């Protein structure tokens, strides 16, 4: 038996296709936003880890040598500290031998 498609049926199918397309675009946008936010949080957490590694190495240096190191390069060459300078900007401010340095790490 032949079923004729009415204009109402054609309009309903068209509305359903539009609604489906809007839902798919909405879901794709949410997935992209979640991936972006997750990557941003990971980069910030990695910067915190780099800062903690620099502080730990400077405290270790102070315990071994009796004074805090005057530069970041001293920690990299003598205490095995490895920093990816392409990904992070590390600001190491040394004041005196007996004062812990100020360390700031910013992701690029």
Q: Is residue 31 part of a domain?
A: yes
Print the domain residue range for 54: 7-107
How many distinct structural domains can be found in the chain? 1
92: left (phi over 0), alpha (psi -120 to 50) or beta: beta
Q: Is residue 37 part of a domain?
A: yes
Q: Is residue 1 part of a domain?
A: no
Tens of pLDDT along 44-71?
999 999 999 999 999 999 999 999 999 9
Coil/strand/helix, residue 68: coil
Q: Is residue 38 part of a domain?
A: yes
The whole-angstrom separation of Cα 107 and Cα 89 is 6
83 vs 41, 47, 68, 75, CA distance in Å? 19, 10, 18, 10
Tens of pLDDT along 20-49?
999 999 999 999 999 999 988 998 999 999
Residues 6+ apart with CB under 8 A from 83: 50, 53, 54, 72, 76, 90
Q: Is residue 17 part of a domain?
A: yes
Q: Is residue 30 part of a domain?
A: yes
Q: Is residue 2 part of a domain?
A: no
Q: What local confidence, expressed as pLDDT, does residue 2 receive? A: 74
Q: Is residue 70 part of a domain?
A: yes
**Model's pTM, two decimal places?**
0.70
């Amino acid at each position: 038996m032949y079923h004729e498609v009415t204009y109402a049926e054609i309009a309903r199918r068209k509305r359903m296709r539009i609604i489906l397309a809007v839902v798919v675009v909405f879901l794709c946008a949410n997935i992209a936003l979640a991936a972006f936010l997750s990557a941003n949080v990971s980069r910030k957490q990695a910067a915190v880890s780099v800062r903690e590694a620099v502080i730990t190495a400077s405290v270790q240096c102070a315990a071994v040598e009796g004074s805090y190191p005057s530069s970041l390069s001293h920690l990299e060459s003598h205490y095995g500290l490895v920093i990816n300078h392409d990904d992070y900007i590390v600001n190491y401010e040394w004041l005196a031998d007996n004062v812990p340095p100020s360390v700031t790490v910013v992701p690029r």
